[in-house]
Amino acid sequence: MKQTLAFDVYGTLIDTHGVMQALREIIGDRAGAFSQAWRDKQLEYSFRRGLMGAYQDFGVCTAQALDYTCVALSVVLSDEQKACVLDSYSSLPAFADVKEGLDSLRAKGANLFAFSNGRSAAVEILLGNAGILDSFEGVVSCDDVQTFKPNPVVYAHFIAETDSEPENTWLISSNPFDVIGAVSSGWKAAWVRRSEAAIFDPWEFAPTTVVTNLGQLTEKLIP
């Protein structure tokens, strides 16, 4: 039976800090701190909306997190500058190891899907601009079930959409909360730890395997 591989998009395939190029043009050397604070708040807002049952799509979480970060870091952006920075989210770059890693897995016959908090249309544009959309059989979006990772509902939705079995499905993610959500739902999971500074939450759920880049997945996941 073929392995089904569910790839998280933001932070795993796509470098969310690619937004720093647009930020540097506006706020200079504060771009790094701004980008990190924005990403952290973006995820926090998705968690909170999921718990509250007060769903708005991931793009709304991103825009509201941008507004918060501007206030928190005392950065004044015009409406035009905010629109420019938000627009850069559709053209973020893939990490350098992604294309070759995906090609290797496809060559081994694995079923590859993008699995994201983002709306399907937005994810398809993003992956297309990054040159990797054709690597996937499809995009499965949490937007379909009006909540976010790591709610168990989204992992069940992926299984139903792809006609997969949890025990034969792998999540590939750089986000520990996503790995924990998948493992707790009966999946296998590979944590992509690109930085030695990255810390996995010390919970009772652990990744099935750990890699430092996507090129290591073929040997570890495909018998």
- Average pLDDT (61-90) is 96
Q: What is the pLDDT of residue 138?
A: 97
Q: Name the 3-class secondary structure at 150.
A: coil
Do 32 and 116 share a domain, yes or no?
Answer: no
pLDDT bucket at 2, cuts 50 / 70 / 90: confident
Encode pLDDT of 169-217 as tens digits.
999 999 999 999 999 999 999 999 999 999 999 999 999 999 999 999 9
175: which 2 tokens?
């986000």
Domain interval for residue 52: 16-90
- Average pLDDT (93-122) is 96
Rounded Cα distance between 214 and 117, Å, is 20
Name the domain count of the chain. 2
Instruction: Residue 62: name the closest of 88, 32, 80 by CA.
Output: 88
Do 110 and 160 share a domain, yes or no?
Answer: yes
Do 149 and 180 share a domain, yes or no?
Answer: yes
Among 60, 90, 120, give the residue marking a domain's end: 90
Encode pLDDT of 13-26 as tens digits.
999 999 998 999 99
Rounded Cα distance between 160 and 167, Å, is 14
Tell me: pLDDT of 81 over 70.
yes
Do 118 and 43 share a domain, yes or no?
Answer: no
Tell me: pLDDT of 219 over 70.
yes
Residue among 8, 15, 97, 143 flagged as catalytic: 8
Do 36 and 58 share a domain, yes or no?
Answer: yes
Among 43, 65, 90, give the residue marking a domain's end: 90
Tell me: pLDDT of 147 over 70.
yes
Do 171 and 161 share a domain, yes or no?
Answer: yes
27: which 2 tokens?
């706020």
Among 48, 75, 90, give the residue marking a domain's end: 90
Do 178 and 194 share a domain, yes or no?
Answer: yes
Encode pLDDT of 29-67 as tens digits.
999 999 999 999 999 999 999 999 999 999 999 999 999
Do 114 and 147 share a domain, yes or no?
Answer: yes
pLDDT above 70 coverage of the chain, percent: 99
Do 72 and 125 share a domain, yes or no?
Answer: no
Q: What is the CATH number of the domain that holds 74?
A: 1.10.150.240
Tell me: pLDDT of 137 over 80.
yes
Do 173 and 99 share a domain, yes or no?
Answer: yes
Do 79 and 182 share a domain, yes or no?
Answer: no
Tell me: pLDDT of 157 over 70.
yes
Rounded Cα distance between 144 and 118, Å, is 10
Q: What is the CATH number of the domain that holds 193?
A: 3.40.50.1000
Q: What is the pLDDT of residue 1?
A: 63
Tell me: pLDDT of 223 over 80.
no
pLDDT above 90 coverage of the chain, percent: 95
Instruction: Residue 178: name the closest of 163, 158, 197 by CA.
Output: 158
Question: Which distant-in-sequence residues (6+ apart) come within 8 Å of 12 by Cβ?
Answer: 172, 173, 174, 175, 192
Tell me: pLDDT of 118 over 70.
yes
If you average pLDDT over every residue of the chain, what do you get?
96
Do 32 and 113 share a domain, yes or no?
Answer: no
Is 201 an annotated catalytic residue?
no
- The letter for the amino acid at 86 is L
Q: Where are the alpha helices (DSSP H) in the chain?
A: 20-27, 31-52, 58-72, 79-87, 98-107, 120-129, 152-162, 176-184, 217-221
